[in-house]
Structure 1
Amino acid sequence: MDATNAAELWDRVVGTQPDPTSWLVASTGLIALAVVVFRTTWRISRNAITIAHEGGHGLVALLSGRRLDGIRLHSDTSGLTVSRGKPTGLGMILTAAAGYTAPSLLGVAGAWLLASNHITALLWGATALLVVMLVMIRNAYGVLTVVVTGGAFLLVSWLTGPEVQAAFAYAVVWFLLLGGVRPPFELQSKRRGGGAYDSDPDQLARLTGIPAGAWLLMFHTVSLCSLLAGGRWLMGM
């Protein structure tokens, strides 16, 4: 690739795109809401939330100085991130807290980019994050899930026009914001039924002495506040 082509590619990625119509923003939000609400579509699409969840654990583990051994994604939409390092302390607390907050916080970051009309940058940034995550995947189903997801981002960002890119990007960000709300409620329901004995809130309770219910409340707060803030950005309010 010569310097001219590289410059054109860079301008394409970091440049701004036209504002989408309010109809597109609202309709993609309604589609994302339907995907999250209905059990059949949620069962499939929840894999994307699991990618963000485990990716959040992995990223914070690395940023806090821990060694990331690998990530596994399972067909039942569960996942596991394994890191090495001090078993207690701030780094471990942040790593454990990152999972349930990651989808919503990624949604807020995506909403900020879209509000700034950086649609292509969002698509390419998401692709880059998925490529980095792929290196750490340690099972076949996880590899398949990340490759399919990353491939969708790459194809849309490279082969489609501005309107399709905008529709895809807004649908993804709405899904992260709305989909980030449901898992804490699912976890709360499991805990009420006597399950999920070793969930992230339970690990955080052992690490900090703060009750698991308080951590669960924090996850609810982050997801709902993220939905409110991100939704306002997406709707241009």
Structure 2
Amino acid sequence: MDFWERLISVQPAPPQWVVLVTALVALIVVLANGPWLLARNVVTIVHEAGHGLIAVLVGRRLSGIRLHSDTSGVTTSRGKPTGLGMILTVLAGYIAPSLLGLGLAALLGAGMITLLLWVCTALLLLVLIMIRNVYGALLLLVTGGALVAISVLADSAVQAGFAYLVTWFLLIGGVRPVPELQRKRRRGRARDSDADQLARLTGLPGILWVTVFGLVALGALALGGSWLLAEVLDGWSLRP
């Protein structure tokens, strides 16, 4: 019972500087090519999890997920190759990190830091069950192990900082893959990208779907960021 009470308990908001510093760190990680190449694995995990989740929800049979060392990934499912279910399955990937970040921002706004950490851990466990390659399994085990360690062993201040960092990273990191995708498409290196698959499924141009990905990512960043910064901005407005 203690675990469940702790899970749904409301934690006090961290100092304002924590919110700002974690936002800055996340921004640097996303913009700097070196850190991004490593951290992008997290975005890929969520991207493929988005495909997998929607595939199951629309009645497709999820075959498996593969994560590769070049930060790419593949999710395969069985079912009707056309129609709304397939469209939603393909659409889910690029918007999944941003929407998850938005959901985590809502949890942080409600003060549910512990619940946020365990939600992320549960999502990683569900993805691990469907992983079909060694690298992907190792990546999930390392990432999940870090989350469990912080959730169980770290004090509340560390948990809060980590939760804000993950949330900011998903919100900001959900934006960068969109222009990267379009650059690859322009060079003819992404003929089977999600945008091009959606173009074939719907008859609408791929650039339209890239635009949809971008609008969702930017919208989630704006809304989620406003939630995360609400107390900071309120604090500044109360200053004489």
Q: What's the TM-score, normalizing by structure 1?
A: 0.96
What amino acid is the match of 1:90?
L
Distance 1:185 1:146 in 2: 26
Query: Could you say which residue in structure 2 is the equivalent of 1:4?
Result: none
By how many angstroms is 1:106 displaced? 0.2
Distance 2:148 2:10 in 1: 18
Is residue 142 of structure 1 aligned with residue 136 of structure 2? yes
Residues 55-204 of structure 1 aligned to structure 2 (within 5 Å)? 55-204=49-198
By how many angstroms is 1:186 displaced? 0.2
Distance 1:136 1:193 in 2: 32
What amino acid is the match of 1:12?
R
Instruction: Pick from 199, 208, 213 the counterpart of residue 205 of structure 1.
Output: 199
Partner of 2:101, secondary structure, is helix
By how many angstroms is 1:120 displaced? 0.3
Query: Could you say which residue in structure 1 is the equivalent of 2:33?
Result: 39
Partner of 2:63, secondary structure, is strand
By how many angstroms is 1:191 displaced? 1.1
Partner of 1:71, secondary structure, is strand
Instruction: Pick from 10, 17, 22 the counterpart of residue 23 of structure 1.
Output: 17
Distance 2:29 2:137 in 1: 23
* Contiguous gaps of at least 5 residues in structure 1: 1-6
Partner of 2:158, secondary structure, is helix
What amino acid is the match of 2:169?
F
Summarize deviations over 1:71-99 as a string: whole Å, max 9, x none. 00000000000000010111100000000
Query: Could you say which residue in structure 2 is the equivalent of 1:235?
Result: 229
* Contiguous gaps of at least 5 residues in structure 2: 234-240
Distance 2:141 2:166 in 1: 16
Distance 2:76 2:52 in 1: 8
What amino acid is the match of 1:82?
T
Where does structure 1 differ by over 4 angstroms across 4 or more consecutive aligned residues? none
Query: Could you say which residue in structure 1 is the equivalent of 2:46?
Result: 52
Distance 1:220 1:166 in 2: 28
Summarize deviations over 1:148-180 as a string: whole Å, max 9, x none. 111111110111111000000000000000000
Partner of 2:184, secondary structure, is helix
Query: Could you say which residue in structure 2 is the equivalent of 1:3?
Result: none
Partner of 1:220, secondary structure, is helix
Distance 1:132 1:217 in 2: 30
Query: Could you say which residue in structure 1 is the equivalent of 2:236?
Result: none
Instruction: Pick from 5, 12, 16 the counterpart of residue 6 of structure 2.
Output: 12
Partner of 1:19, secondary structure, is coil
How many residues are treated as equivalent by the alignment?
A: 231
Distance 1:21 1:93 in 2: 43
Partner of 2:19, secondary structure, is helix
Query: Could you say which residue in structure 1 is the equivalent of 2:212?
Result: 218
Identical columns (%):
58
Report the aligned-residue RMSD: 0.6
By how many angstroms is 1:193 displaced? 1.5
